Amino acid sequence: MKIKYTQIFVKDMEEAISFFTKKLGFCASDKIAFDKENDQIPMRINNADQFVNLVEDKGESGFKSRIILSTDDCLKDYHNLKTMGVDFKEQPQYLAVGLCAEFNDNYGNAYVLLEERNYNEL
């Protein structure tokens, strides 16, 4: 098995689509319905086989997501996203798993850019 879709809860669908497409470089797909109550907009980047689904939070759930985005070059992506107006919590940090930088969207969902590194390699 592998993850195909991850839900991200947003208050304003149009604003969220703009954030993902204009700032993060994702492409929007047609609406899909996984349940009877919520239409979802799948977003993907670089023709990947995994999607993040934007789901309009109508105020009942209060759910927030934490999405880890894999990158081959955290510093480059950090600077490119900052140029596009993404506000990071702090500069990239070296952690045991690799180089990371974290930001939030307008709805409190957290995103981590992760350049995985094996510090035990010679």
**pLDDT tens-digit map of 51-92:** 888 988 776 666 788 888 989 999 999 999 999 999 999 999
Q: Is residue 99 part of a domain?
A: yes
Q: Is 80 exposed, middle or buried (0-12, 13-18, 19+ CB in 10 A)?
A: middle
Q: Quote the domain boundaries for residue 77.
A: 5-116
Nearest-CA neighbor of 10 among 106, 76, 113?
106
Q: What is the pLDDT of residue 1?
A: 58
Is the predicted pLDDT of residue 121 greater than 80, yes or no? Answer: no
Number of domains in the chain: 1
Q: Cite the beta strand spans of 1-122 per DSSP E.
A: 5-10, 27-28, 32-33, 39-44, 51-56, 66-70, 93-95, 98-104, 110-116
Q: Is residue 20 part of a domain?
A: yes
Q: Is residue 65 part of a domain?
A: yes
Q: Is residue 18 part of a domain?
A: yes
Q: What is the pLDDT of residue 51?
A: 87
Q: What is the pLDDT of residue 73?
A: 95
Give the C-alpha separation, 95 to 116, whole Å: 9
Q: What is the pLDDT of residue 39?
A: 75
63: CATH: 3.10.180.10
